[in-house]
Structure 1
Amino acid sequence: MTAFTVEDGQFVRDGRPHRVLSGALHYFRSHRAQWPRRLSVLRAMGLNTVETYVPWNLHEPRRGRYRDLDALGSFLDLAAAAGLDAIVRPGPYICAEWENGGLPWWLSGPPRCAHPDFLADVDAWFDVLIPEVAARQVTRGGNVVLVQVENEYGSYGSDRAYLAHLRDGLVRRGIDVPLFTSDGGEALFLTGGMVDGALATVNFGSDAAGQFGELRRHRPRDPLFCMEFWDGWFDHWGDRHVVRAPEDAAAALDEVLAAGASVNLYMAHGGTNFGFWAGANAGGEVHDGAYRPTVTSYDYDAPMDEAGNPTPKYWAFREVIGRYAPLPPPPTTPTSTAPTSTASEAAPPTLPAQTVPLTRSVRLFEVFNNPTIQSPHIPTFEQVGQHQGFLLHRTTVPGPRPPLPLRLRDLRDRAQLYVDGTHQATYSRAADPKPSRPPTSPAG
């Protein structure tokens, strides 16, 4: 059994000083069959830990009805087999550019606060989830070394009773590895998000000295830890793909490690937002005040691309990490990105480009077969008990009457207008043509 503790401002593993070198790889953004290779490629970068969120709404789409509850445990077990420790970030809110930040649509009471109805929903979910995490802690022969309390709460609120409830609930359900919070490296974010009994960590993409300096002012005895080192960024619908030069990201990573800090690459591998699970972001300096949906790809310009293959950024990061920790053998990679022919395993074959002819189609109206709901106004998805997908609204406009403008207020995504079965117009939330850019405030 392994001991993982914090002593004299540093992590200690089995009596020896330990640096956490982690990379984010979300199990819900890649297929199960892909997990083993992607974990092995992550390990070959020189990392010793993998980090993942847990999206509550994916696993409990309706209150008390669960699905894929074994996914997290299977992922953690495979990570252990690959020689990786694990950091688990169970929320209940995760952000992660995921639909509703991981919160289910059916919640009672105002979320992310100490409202008793919301806390009751969280407690019921944690009763199901946390025992799976607790059973896989290093203190019980597993590989989980750190567990997060909420997520970037300092960017949202300042309800200490809420954070204390989550902290105490994790401990009560058996979490005995160190707890932590993560927030942006500014006083406003840190003071709002920290809670006694949990380490404080910071999220940033550059200026390690300044960010760690602010952390030290608030928590001088905590280990230095960049819990989200933003090595790339996510993409919004209608914008250009966001990239960060490998040499720039590698230099910033070197600053983090030179400070003696632990780090979690956000992301090491981004993956894909399958189905309707991509989220959206609104407001603030980061997004120019516009509400923008995230695209299906969560490539993130990460060191491992969406297909799970190393990029030039991977090799640049591996070189930096090798200055501070022993490196395992590199993986076999496509020759276009690999600087060496040394190999430890075969890269998966890439399917050739193909053309798929579409010879059949079905009208949209023919696939709507759910019960009809009568309403004097256009209801929200939540009001009809649906968390994603499509809704068909029908009405008869009595006449005759003079022409009047049609206004769709607070349209969140996309709407198509049909009159007597004929398509007339398509409406969508206006997209700002400016490209996305890496932030100055937290968003992971």
Structure 2
Amino acid sequence: MKKIIDFQNKDFVENLNHYIENNRNTSPDISEKVKIIINNIMDYGDRALSELTLKYDNYDIIKEGLCVDENDVNAAFKECDKDLISAIDKAAERISDFHEKQIPSNISYTDGSNVQLGYKWTPLDTVGLYIPGGKASYPSSVIMTAIPAKIAEVPEVSMCVPCPKGYLNPSVLVAAKICGVKKIYKIGGAQAIAAMAYGTNTVKKVNKIFGPGNAWVAEAKRQLFGKVGIDMVAGPSEILVISDDKSNPNWIAADLLSQAEHDTEAQSILITDSLDFAKQVETAIDNLIKSLKRKEIAETSWRNNGIIIVLKNLEQSIDIVNKIAPEHLEISVEKPELIAEKINNAGSIFLGRFVPEAIGDYIAGPNHVLPTASTARFSSGISTLDYMRRTSMIKCDPDALSEIAPSAIKIAENEGLEAHALSIKIRMNNFTNDK
């Protein structure tokens, strides 16, 4: 029963705070190692990229090739199960439909001082997508990062995906083709992020990088932010489930394990108002975990980062959830909206007993690239807007300038910026040239 924190225990608050503040970051020496990788790519380009790919992925890009070609894609379609191709098609269609609704409108208007104001939206020139490989392959990540780029009409989209020992999961290539990605590099890790950020002779530099990855990828994105735009620095996956005792304990157990199987550092939390239900879910997890192919990963994750919190009532869960700010929040109760309306900090909210988090991962419509590590307190999942930029537009005629200039001059002079004030005065013929 050590996985259960009960509000009736005298050390409940202390144990809860200890768990919430638990740092799940990987070893600190990763930062220095990633820095070395980035510097190598910056200094030596393709040579370093080749050496690092051979070292970490056991793949020789010089002999075997760096880029995916049309033959690779055609072979992937032949190898991939037809039902899976159909499922990817349907997912891409639903994700497209949702992200099309996010396309913003330009605005233009004239205010009371006759100043013309507005803004326009334009797509980014180039973006790079990072798709995880290694322990698992994720065509869903292709869909979630490539579809918004397509909807935003980004002209150039490239993708990096690890190719360990030369193997590239065909479903990833199928998803890329369906989503319109034409340039695919067989590279991964921090070196792929650095290559996209700086560019090499063979990897084109991009303006912004999207997509999840392991701790090395996340650290590379963190270090390179500013040199290149990034979607976010994503950490291990998270799920928090609020449930009463009317839910099926096996369903809730499966939902918690759906994140635990991602990564040994993934976090799974259940909040309930029933100790009996908590025990039922804990037992269900122990039973279900035995049948998982990724059993060892899920067991380690649940053992180290899983917890069940028992409260007096579910109203008390609101403050806890807003403090944790989980990536995924399920509310498995009769009227989930009553709780959801009070939740401000969550990447994505799943309402009711019949929408497991996995539906959001694959098919619902909203993006599954979401803020982790409590960053939902100040950020959101990616959207079409992240692949665009907004530019302000301002126009004055002489009368409009005369109307608003005095206030601008006053503020500029107060800040000691004479040329700022001068640039306004000179247009109003209030500047005398004494030459």
Q: TM-score range by the shorter chain?
A: under 0.3
Higher relative contact order, chain-length normalized (CA < 8 Å, sep 6+): 2
Max radius of gyration: which structure?
2
